[in-house]
Structure 1
Amino acid sequence: MPVEPLSQQQIEERLADLPGWSVDGDRLTRSYRLPSHFAATAMVVHISQVQEELDHHSDLTLGYHSVSLSVNTHCAGGAITEKDFALARRVSDLAPGHGAS
């Protein structure tokens, strides 16, 4: 079953439920600040586990006290799809457990 791109209105509606997430070009993005580099590293590992479960992977950047994600759906021509929002929701749910803001 092909994955369909979301319309601009659908994207805006979904963003309303995901504070801190935004659209940059054709990608869904979010950056988090964490209390330490160790906490940031642990969050990257946790996100990686979720991405494997969903079989959907973002570009992940680990900084000294930060983690940034950028994602779109390659099989939908690089558009934003429900798969991207499913990943964003999971990351938003796990972030507080790592002390992320």
Structure 2
Amino acid sequence: MSDFKTRHCQSCEGFTDPMPRADAERALGQLAAGWGLDEAGRSIQRCFKFKNYHETMAFVNAVAWIAHTEDHHPDLAVGYNRCAVEFSTHAIGGLSDNDFICAARIDALFE
């Protein structure tokens, strides 16, 4: 597996199989601590915590920019000082490299 943060998302509109759970578990090892795999192995998620609303919204805007440039969009749940991010490739009903690429780019915000 190559370094996810240096790659870009590729279209996988229905012609790619979802990533097997074992591959997803290995891919999690390339992400920062805190990312988790759901029970079904179809999504990854992480909750980010911040000092205040301003920092939270700055993060949300940065995630929106990543999603826009990669054309791969997470589900976000935003609160005053937290943002939960969940990635899944809806077109294939599970995980793809795109989910890990975007997660790695989000991790890079904190490096």
* TM norm structure 2: 0.79
Q: Do the aligned residues in 1 keep the contact of 2:48 with 2:83 (CA within 8 Å)?
A: yes
CA deviation string 1:31-53 (max 9, x = no partner) = 01111110000000010000000
> 2:48 aligned with 1:23, yes or no?
no
Q: CA RMSD in A?
A: 1.4
Instruction: Structure 2: state its 5+ residue gaps.
Output: 1-11
Paired positions, count: 95
Q: Counting helix residues as a fraction of each chain, which structure ranks higher?
A: 1
CA deviation string 1:8-35 (max 9, x = no partner) = 1111111112111001232110101111
Aligned to 1:92: 107
Q: What code does the residue aligned with 1:56 have?
A: H
Alignment equivalent of 1:71, drawn from 87, 90, 94: 87
The structure 1 segments of at least 4 consecutive aligned residues displaced by more than 6 Å after TM superposition are: none
Instruction: Structure 1: state its 5+ residue gaps.
Output: none
Taking the aligned partners of 2:34 and 2:106, their CA distance within structure 1 comes to 12
CA deviation string 1:71-94 (max 9, x = no partner) = 110111x20110100110011111
Q: Do the aligned residues in 1 keep the contact of 2:25 with 2:37 (CA within 8 Å)?
A: no
Aligned to 1:83: 98
The alignment-based identity, stated in percent, is 26
Aligned to 2:8: none
Q: Do the aligned residues in 1 keep the contact of 2:47 with 2:84 (CA within 8 Å)?
A: yes
> 2:59 aligned with 1:43, yes or no?
yes
